[in-house]
Structure 1
Amino acid sequence: MIKIFQYECKRLLWNKFFFGLLLVILFYGWQVLNSVTILGVSHTAPFSPWSFGDYLSRMIPLLWIAVLFFLTFFTSGKARRVTVLTDATPVAPGRYALARCAAALVGTGLLALVCLIEAAIFYGRYFDWYGWDELALPALVTLIPPLMLALGSGWLLGRIRSYLIYTWMLVPFVLMVLPLPEFLGLLNGSIFMDRPLTFDILDPTFSLPIGTIVTQCVLFLIGIALLMICPLNHKIR
């Protein structure tokens, strides 16, 4: 199992496509930080949880695409041919599925970590600010639920039809242009720009409505549930 996991990680992370995604994320993230975050959103400080959350929400579409792109390594025509061989081995097919899910999760975590490190460098360089404990909550609620959902749903769609993954990549871009209600505001980042303006003070303390928190928890649990059923039907069509 460990050897399979190591092989899948190497296949995902040690290739030109991963480094290409990494460069795109670094470049776009630095542009967002220098053109949007540095000004602060909705009259908040650049290093406030609101501005930081806005930065992360702008990174979500690229991270979403990266997650689904990882899964294409397991749903392509080549992957289907390899599946025929792995089905003939004494190793349980579910273990291959779990190893691949874990490798995709590692790749996703690394790219998310890159976004956080880039923001840390930005805040340290321009503001000499290092209060990262204040930004832990917006990082957790903004990044983890949608990326877990992308991983779980992408795995399911890839097993149904491999090309559905590419269509699913468009979801965050569609959400960005929709006028979502507040409880869905973390799906397109609108809550980070709208909610601070509802308070009577500048740069209010970071807080989220209970509906928003429930929504993020539901998305996270759905992603987990979809990943848990992946060993039950690993075949790719």
Structure 2
Amino acid sequence: MGKIFRYECRRLLWNKFFIGLAVVLLLYGALVLHAVTILGVSHTAPFSPWSFGDYLSRMLPLLWVGMLFFLTFYTSPKARRAAVLMDATPMPSRQYALARCAAALTGGVLLSLLCMGEAAVFYGRMFHWYGWGSLLLPALATLLPALVFALGSGWLLGQIRPWLVYVWMAAPFLLAALPLPEVLSLWNGRFFTAYPLALGTLDPAFALPADAATAQVVLLAVGAALLAAGDSRRKAMR
């Protein structure tokens, strides 16, 4: 299984799409950092967890699109025809699916690390600030549930109809325009601009309300469940 995972990672990461997406992310990230983050959000420092979380929430739609594009390598009609041959091999088909999903998730994680690395360089160069450990919690709370949910939901939709994956790419852009309740405000980025003002102190310490944390944990669990459901549907269609 390790050989399959390494092969799939090479196939996903050593191609023009990954390089092009990485360039777009870096260019857009530089724009956000120099035009928005450098000013700080909601009266917080540019390198505060709130400003960093706002930066990540602005990058999240592109990371979501990247994750789903990785899945199109496996959910396209051509890939599904090739999967029939793979199912005839001695290795269980579940392991193939697991290796592919792990490769797609690895691609999403690498793109996320690229965004965070760009922010770290920006903070060091502009402010000589290197307290990156304080940014770990907003990064995990913002990115991990969303990327796992994108992986699980995209995998299931791709087994139903391959074109649904492309439609699903628009989801974060639509959510950004909707007045979501506070418990879901991490999805449109408003949490990082509204919640620190509600705390009533200047540059407050980062805190994630219990209901928002619960929503993110549920989202993470749903993403994992959808991933399993997608694999079950794939086997049922063989």
Same fold per superposition (TM over 0.5): yes
* Residue 6 (str. 1) matches residue 9 (str. 2): no
Shift of 1:224: 1.5
Asked if structure 1 preserves the Cα contact closer than 8 Å seen for 2:105 and 2:147, the reply is no
* Residue 122 (str. 1) matches residue 122 (str. 2): yes
Asked if structure 2 preserves the Cα contact closer than 8 Å seen for 1:97 and 1:230, the reply is no
Report the Cα distance in structure 1 between the residues aligned to 2:107 and 2:178, rounded to whole angstroms. 29
The residue number in structure 2 matching 1:54 is 54
What do the CA deviations read for 1:19-61 (whole angstroms, capped 9, x no partner)?
0111111111111001000000111100011100000000100
The one-letter code sitting in structure 2 at the alignment partner of 1:124 is G
Name whichever of 5-14 and 79-88 sits farther off: 79-88
* Residue 161 (str. 1) matches residue 161 (str. 2): yes
The residue number in structure 1 matching 2:181 is 181
Shift of 1:2: 1.5
Structure 1 counterpart SS, 2:234:
coil
Percent of residue pairs identical: 63
Report the Cα distance in structure 2 between the residues aligned to 1:166 and 1:230, rounded to whole angstroms. 16
TM superposition outliers: structure 1 runs of 4+ over 6 Å? none
What do the CA deviations read for 1:107-132 (whole angstroms, capped 9, x no partner)?
11100110110010000000000011
Asked if structure 2 preserves the Cα contact closer than 8 Å seen for 1:93 and 1:234, the reply is no
Asked if structure 1 preserves the Cα contact closer than 8 Å seen for 2:45 and 2:51, the reply is yes
Asked if structure 2 preserves the Cα contact closer than 8 Å seen for 1:12 and 1:103, the reply is yes
Report the Cα distance in structure 1 between the residues aligned to 2:77 and 2:227, rounded to whole angstroms. 22
Asked if structure 2 preserves the Cα contact closer than 8 Å seen for 1:93 and 1:231, the reply is no
Scaled by the length of structure 2, what TM-score is found? 0.96
Shift of 1:230: 4.2
Report the Cα distance in structure 2 between the residues aligned to 1:204 and 1:40, rounded to whole angstroms. 13
What do the CA deviations read for 1:111-156 (whole angstroms, capped 9, x no partner)?
0110110010000000000011111111110110111100011001
Structure 1 counterpart SS, 2:162:
coil
**Pairwise CA RMSD:** 1.3
Task: Return 5+ residue gaps in structure 1 as ranges.
Answer: none
Report the Cα distance in structure 1 between the residues aligned to 2:146 and 2:111, rounded to whole angstroms. 14
Report the Cα distance in structure 2 between the residues aligned to 1:18 and 1:85, rounded to whole angstroms. 27
The residue number in structure 1 matching 2:218 is 218
The residue number in structure 1 matching 2:201 is 201
Task: Return 5+ residue gaps in structure 2 as ranges.
Answer: none
The residue number in structure 2 matching 1:113 is 113
Name whichever of 213-222 and 83-92 sits farther off: 83-92
Report the Cα distance in structure 2 between the residues aligned to 1:230 and 1:159, rounded to whole angstroms. 6
The residue number in structure 2 matching 1:32 is 32
How many residues are paired up? 237
Report the Cα distance in structure 1 between the residues aligned to 2:224 and 2:108, rounded to whole angstroms. 15
Structure 2 counterpart SS, 1:204:
coil
The one-letter code sitting in structure 2 at the alignment partner of 1:17 is F
Structure 2 counterpart SS, 1:159:
helix
Scaled by the length of structure 1, what TM-score is found? 0.96
Asked if structure 1 preserves the Cα contact closer than 8 Å seen for 2:157 and 2:230, the reply is no
Structure 1 counterpart SS, 2:72:
helix
